Structure 1
């Protein structure tokens, strides 16, 4: 497939990734420019180096190093799904710069990336499962008692409770909790949020 056609497909794919999947679901405006910039930048660098004596391998190495540096040296916290979108934007750019092979191969791989993100980051996938950090107003050293206390507070089944810090002086416990809401709790929460006019993520 001609390189300009692959570039056009890449632009369409990253627009679908960012404006069709990421932003409607997560509403983080600052990462829109980051994803678009990573995609187009990697596409430009990799396609330029693929025609030079440096070779595609160097281009891919530089692209991966650049994105990993951005993620490692970030000034704001990124969730795991946001890191996944970073790598998808990177992969789309690299695929468009590779060229060659069957005419359908690269567009099919791009479509597969979009499909995986559509399903894997869908709001209805494991929607009853939650994760959050909680600061409890008591120092609890017993794991069984901690889980029971958390289940009572959350009204949910706790699957994991990892204690981050126990402060015996101030009588507090910082814990990372992973839990699932009972059936129907998610729908009830959405109805209550709509009734009170709250903003739902």
Structure 2
């Protein structure tokens, strides 16, 4: 009975992770399918390893190899890596934890709450990162930062030059910046007009 409860907790958790958190925020169908498949596959293998004579260390090693191969096969953004490992952790949590259902439920809720808060659109929403190609070869870091701030209309925190092409007069730069707070402009209400 407890295995069915753990399976239910896992399916509900990965459903929330994928369909309530990840997909509405990032809209990548391919990764939604990957997160579901990784979670259910890890849960199934971890459950079978937990009932067999194979040690949990071998199972965790196999999952480590799987994650390295998967992460090297396509380029993922860091938030996608976080969702990937959350789906992996949710799948392995129940079968390997060896604790009560309530502890598994609490740890599952902890993973979901951390992902909800950590990837919330309002958290650090003014801070951005872009890789830009500038049509000027800028070698001086101060001049580069000033140029980027003028282009972006934002405060540049870091500008990592990836490539400078003096022949084609271009600079490829990885820039991290934050936009200023939007100012609300109040329009005066003419006298005698109700608000």
Aligned position for 2:71 = 71
Contact kept, 8 Å, 1:43 with 1:94, in 2: the verdict is: yes
Alpha-carbon deviations, 1:121-157, whole Å to 9, x = none? 0000000011001111111110001000110111000
Map 1:1-201 → 2, pairs under 5 A: 2-74=2-74, 77-184=75-182
CA-based RMSD: 1.6
Give how far 1:99 is off.
5.0
Contact kept, 8 Å, 1:38 with 1:89, in 2: the verdict is: yes
Larger Rg: 2
Give how far 1:58 is off.
1.4
In the comparison of the two structures, how many residue pairs are matched? 185
Gaps of 5+ in 2: 186-195
Give how far 1:102 is off.
3.1
Contact kept, 8 Å, 1:46 with 1:63, in 2: the verdict is: no
TM-score (norm 2): 0.91
4+ residue stretches of structure 1 with deviation over 6 A? Answer: none
Contact kept, 8 Å, 2:137 with 2:165, in 1: the verdict is: yes
Gaps of 5+ in 1: 189-201
CA distance in 2, matches of 1:99, 1:80: 26
Give how far 1:4 is off.
1.2
TM-score (norm 1): 0.88
Contact kept, 8 Å, 2:127 with 2:177, in 1: the verdict is: yes
